[in-house]
Structure 1
Amino acid sequence: MDGNMTKASITKDLESMKKAGIGNLVFLEVNVGVPRGPVNFLSPQWQDLFKHAVRESERLDIEITLGIGPGWTGSGGPWVKPGAIYATTGIGGNKSSRGRKQYQTAHTTT
């Protein structure tokens, strides 16, 4: 949430997710339009908080994935070729099926 996090808020969020049946999440640093918080992306404080999030996720049996950069910078684009997309598809409860999916593109770039 754009640098607005503490160990207590991370724990509370993860416990709420577990209670709601969420079994996995993507940890992203994004600007969502709220005032900027004091924690800078990849700073020593941010890294300590991420370690805390990982430990809490393990305690709660929630799979956590770190986004590759701030925001949605690496999540897609014309370089992603059809058939090369990895996806997780929910099949009920906390179970999932993972694998390569085939997708059609609406347009191509040259």
Structure 2
Amino acid sequence: MADMEACVRGGLGALPVSRLFVRAIRPGRTACIVVHAVVPDGTALDVAEADRLRGAILARLAARHGPMVADVIFTTVEAYAAPAAGNTGMTAAPDGSRATQAAWQDAAPCKEGDGTASPA
């Protein structure tokens, strides 16, 4: 796992990262890797730059840990990245601000096929 994190950090280059979460399992020959990089609010990161960084991370991981399936996600909301997101009482509100789970207890439940989401 430490080697995977080193690969990810190398691919991130100079991007400021306040927290990094790397999770991996290898149910057979293929590693399944999920990376959440929490960047500080106000970090200049557009889609093209995020894709460039994602490509660098995937290339480094594949060279050391392939075959693999990997997701690399960038966020400014730590609650979206933390391993227990949605289960600790701390989560992000639908507008992206930080809020407690109780803040949206009255949210409407999901309806089949309407694409809405409610707290877990």
TM-score range, shorter chain: 0.3 to 0.5
Normalising by structure 2, we get a TM-score of: 0.31
Flag the structure with more relative contact order, 1 or 2, with Cα contacts below 8 A and sequence separation at least 6: 1
Normalising by structure 1, we get a TM-score of: 0.33
Larger helix proportion, structure 1 or 2? 2
